[in-house]
């Protein structure tokens, strides 16, 4: 990952902490350089909460986030390189950002997302067939030749048609 994208992650985390107060970092703890308690070292979907009101400062550095976090009430110094972080958001408002290019493959698959390097475009839709001829609408009315016998025939010598509703 280039330094600009790393810097952007730091800016996003800083902005979220300032505006939201509390954020969740989603990271790949298997990534080289991540320092978390050993029981989480194999977790590619580790989620850590950072709060701007934590008793220990959160250092948002050039390449990583560092702070003392608590796990089951036990403090542990944590170092999280930006390359390991794949999402940062407020879990209450869902404001934040996701970096798909940093997501481990198993996390992508877990969420039903194709890795960017395996992205396959869907097949082209089949060509549309010509629409079938529409059936003629059948009117509920029927013309009955002859009509009313009391009326005079028309000048052409035919009687006027009469409409009748057919069920």
Residue for token digits 């800016």? 11
Residues 107 and 36 in one domain: yes
The pLDDT-based confidence of 162 (bands split at 50, 70, 90) is low
Residues 8 and 69 in one domain: yes
User: 116 phi and psi, to 5 degrees?
Assistant: -55, -35
**Partners of 59 in beta bridges:** 66
Please state whether the predicted TM-score (pTM) of the whole model is above 0.75: no
CATH of the domain at 14: 2.30.30.220
Nearest to 13 by CA among 61, 79, 46: 61
pLDDT digits (tens, 9 = 90+) for 124-136: 566 666 666 666 6
Residues 22 and 102 in one domain: yes
pLDDT digits (tens, 9 = 90+) for 38-74: 999 999 999 999 998 888 899 999 999 999 999 999 9
pLDDT digits (tens, 9 = 90+) for 94-145: 889 999 888 888 888 887 776 555 544 556 566 666 666 666 666 566 666 6
The β-bridge relationship of strands 141-144 and 96-98 is unpaired
């Amino acid at each position: 990952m280039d330094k600009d994208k790393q810097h952007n992650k730091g800016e996003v985390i800083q902005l979220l902490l300032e505006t939201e107060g509390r954020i969740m970092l989603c990271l790949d703890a298997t990534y080289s350089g991540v320092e978390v308690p050993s029981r989480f070292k194999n977790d590619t979907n580790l989620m850590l909460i950072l709060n701007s009101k934590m008793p220990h400062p959160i250092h948002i550095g050039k390449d990583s986030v560092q702070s003392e976090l608590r796990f089951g009430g036990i403090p542990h110094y944590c170092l999280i390189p930006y390359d390991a972080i794949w999402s940062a958001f407020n879990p209450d408002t869902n404001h934040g950002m996701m970096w798909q290019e940093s997501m481990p493959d198993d996390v992508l698959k877990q969420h039903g997302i194709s890795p960017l390097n395996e992205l396959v475009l869907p097949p082209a839709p089949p060509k549309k067939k010509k629409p079938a001829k529409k059936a003629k609408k059948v009117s509920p009315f029927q013309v009955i030749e002859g009509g009313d016998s009391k009326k005079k025939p028309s000048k052409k010598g035919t009687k006027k048609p009469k409409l009748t509703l057919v069920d």
